[in-house]
Chains A and B, each alone.
Chain A
Amino acid sequence: MNSRAIGFLKKFGFFLLFAVFIAVSHIGSFAAGKEIGKNFRVFFLEMILILPLMFILIGLFDVWVPRERLMRHLGPGSGAWGILWVVLLAMLQAGPLYGAFPVAALLWRKGCSVRNVFIYLGAFTTIKIPMLAFEVGFLGWKFSLLRGLFSFPVFIAIGFLLAFYLKNRQFEVREPG
Chain B
Amino acid sequence: MIELALTTVLALLLSFLADRDKTLAGLKKGAGMFLNILPAMLGVLILVSVFLYLVPASLMTAWLGKGTGWTGIVSAAVLGSISLIPGFIAFPLGAILLHSGVSFQVIAVFITTLMMVGFLTLPLEAKYFGWRVSLLRNALSFAGALLVGLLMGNFL
Contacts and interface: CB of A to CB of B under 8 A. Distances in A.
Contacts of B136: 162, 165
B53 interface: yes
B59 interface: no
Given A60-B30, A171-B133, A98 B92 contact: no
Given A60-B12, A62-B30, A162-B133, A138 B5 contact: no
B116 A126 contact: yes
B30 A56 contact: yes
Nearest to B48: A43
Interface residues of B, number: 73
A105 B112 contact: no
Interface stretch (A66-74, A75-83, A139-147): A139-147
Interface string A142-177: 110011001100110110011001100001011111
Given A60-B11, A105-B128, A138 B91 contact: yes
Interface residues of A, number: 73
B61 interface: no
A45 B137 CA distance: 28
Interface string B11-53: 1100100000011011111111110110111111110111011
A49 B1 contact: yes
Contact of B95 (A47, A97, A139, A151): A139
A163 to B, nearest CB: 11
A134 B94 CA distance: 12
Contacts of B30: 55-60, 62
A96 B84 contact: yes
Contacts of B40: 176
Contacts of A128: 87
Contacts of B130: 174
Report the 4 A-B pairs with minimum CB-CB distance, sorted nearest first: A59-B30, A177-B36, A39-B49, A154-B144
Interface of A: 11-12, 14-15, 18, 32, 35-37, 39-40, 43-44, 46-47, 49-64, 94-98, 101-102, 104-105, 118, 121-122, 125-126, 128, 130-131, 134-135, 137-139, 142-143, 146-147, 150-151, 154-155, 157-158, 161-162, 165-166, 171, 173-177
Given A56-B27, A61-B26, A158-B140, 19 more contacts: A14-B42, A59-B27, A60-B23, A60-B30, A94-B4, A101-B124, A105-B128, A125-B118, A126-B116, A128-B87, A135-B87, A139-B111, A142-B155, A150-B147, A151-B148, A154-B147, A155-B144, A171-B133, A176-B128
28 contacts: A32-B53, A35-B53, A43-B45, A50-B4, A55-B33, A57-B30, A59-B31, A59-B33, A60-B15, A64-B15, A94-B3, A94-B4, A125-B115, A126-B115, A131-B87, A131-B91, A134-B87, A138-B91, A138-B92, A139-B111, A146-B152, A146-B155, A147-B112, A147-B152, A165-B136, A171-B133, A174-B129, A175-B128
